[in-house]
Amino acid sequence: MKKRIELEDTGMTFETAYDLEAMSRLARSWLEQIGEDPAREGLVGTPDRVARAWAFLTRGYQQSLEEVVGDAVFEAESSEMVVVKGIEFYSMCEHHLLPFFGQVHVGYIPDGKILGLSKFARLVDMYARRLQLQERLATQIADALVRVLAPQGVGIVVEGAHLCMMMRGVEKQHSTTVTSAMRGVFKEDLRTREEFLALQRPPS
């Protein structure tokens, strides 16, 4: 059963079904394992804060496509390309549990149905707020739009910066990763794909 909790210092509330007490105990144990004292002044409230933060950062597991889209699918005669650029996302890498973040660019050609614009951001958030791989994130968004809209085609481009590369390992602070997923005419028609990708480039 979900309960509404507050994310400290933000005034934001959200619903979660997670066992926050169990998550807090795990966070306390983790602090002890790295040699910290969870009872010291600066860490007294940290296990509870970590539990609430992770409940928020992974809330996508508790959302469904039907819930996110709701009644925002509309009938439309348009068959021209629709592009929504620069949708910010924040996610957690499943390999190291470190953040990666960036932007998602979405394009699709309708076939009788369109989606309310705000739902693209909510759709991205639903999949980003899980333990993820950037490649999978692009694929999940594309497949979800195919399922919801049955469009002529979908194109997804994800640009991300990964803290697992910036803080550890090769420590390259300015590296970014670009992944894409193409469906329908975006995959089959070179001109359609090139038109969509050209729209991602900054004006010269």
pLDDT tens for the chain, 204 residues: list them.
788 988 877 878 888 999 999 999 999 999 999 999 999 999 999 999 999 999 999 999 999 999 999 999 999 988 899 999 999 999 999 999 999 999 999 999 999 999 999 999 999 999 999 999 999 999 999 999 999 999 999 999 999 999 988 887 776 777 899 999 999 999 999 999 999 999 887 776
Q: Please name the residues in contact with 134: beta carbons below 8 A apart, sequence gap of 6 or more.
A: 91, 100, 158, 160, 162, 177, 179
Q: Which two tokens stand for residue 30?
A: 């983790």
With b meaning 16 or more CB within 10 Å and e meaning fewer, what string describes 181-196? bbbbbbbeeeebbeeb
Q: What single letter denotes the amino acid at residue 88?
A: E
Strand partners, 7: 12
Q: How many residues does the chain have?
A: 204
CATH code of 71-198, in short, is 3.30.1130.10
* CATH T-level topology, domain 3-57: GTP Cyclohydrolase I; Chain A, domain 1 (1.10.286)
3-state secondary structure of 194: helix
Question: pTM for the whole thing?
Answer: 0.93
Domain spans of the chain, in order of start: 3-57, 71-198
